[in-house]
């Protein structure tokens, strides 16, 4: 359920299928004007994106922002690395967790919050094939239960 003043732009549905999300946090993102305009039109794809450290700065990579139609020479490379804006203590904590525990940072969703573009990133651990199968079986069982309850209430 969206909160007041928040407009969702894109969601990475595949991330929750491929990873266990241990923790999520909100980060600002450094963008150019034509990229923001393109995001307002919904031209963003988070499917293959991930976050990586370069020194003590965090960048989101492979996040595709389509070139803005009317941007001509001001358009940037759609796949350029974009810097994430977090407090230094948050960056240090994440750097330690990613380095020691084998966790990875995955963008979960992009949204506007009060006119600013925010990215929700998740501290994730990869799922094994049997974990994915167990999740699928659990969802199917829940769906069957709900279907039976609806049929029982209608009949």
Q: Are 102 and 118 in contact (CB under 8 A)?
A: no
Q: How confident is the model at residue 119 (pLDDT cuts 50, 70, 90)?
A: very high
Taken as a whole, the chain contains a residue count of 155
Compute the distance between CA of residue 32 and CA of residue 76 in angstroms, rounded to an integer: 8
pLDDT for residue 144 is more than 70? yes
Q: Of 40, 43, 50, 36, which is closest to residue 121 (Cα–Cα)?
A: 50
Q: Where are the beta strands (DSSP E) in 12-115?
A: 19-29, 44-45, 50-54, 57-61, 64-65, 82-85, 104-113
Kindly report, residue by residue over 100-117, the tens digit of the pLDDT.
887 899 999 999 998 899
> pLDDT band at 76, cuts 50/70/90?
confident
pLDDT of 3 over the 70 cut: no
- pTM metric for this prediction: 0.77
Rounded to an integer, the average pLDDT of 41-59 is: 89
CATH T-level assignment (fold) for domain 6-129: Small Protein B; Chain: A; (2.40.280)
Domain extent listing, the chain? 6-129
Per-residue pLDDT band at 5 (split at 50, 70, 90): confident
């Amino acid at each position: 359920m969206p909160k007041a003043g928040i407009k969702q732009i894109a969601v990475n549905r595949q991330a929750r299928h491929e990873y266990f999300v241990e923790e999520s946090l909100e980060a600002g993102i450094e963008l150019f004007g034509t990229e923001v305009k393109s995001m307002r039109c919904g031209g963003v794809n988070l499917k293959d994106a991930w976050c990586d450290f370069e020194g003590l700065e965090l960048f989101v990579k492979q996040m595709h922002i389509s070139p803005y139609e009317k941007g001509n020479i001001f358009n940037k490379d759609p796949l350029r690395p974009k810097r994430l804006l977090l407090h230094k203590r948050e960056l240090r904590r994440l750097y330690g967790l990613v380095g020691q525990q084998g966790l990875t940072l995955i963008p979960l969703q992009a949204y506007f919050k009060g006119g600013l573009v925010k990215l929700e990133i998740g501290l994730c651990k990869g799922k094994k094939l049997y974990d994915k199968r167990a999740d699928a079986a659990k969802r199917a069982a829940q769906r069957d239960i709900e279907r039976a309850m609806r049929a029982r209430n209608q009949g």
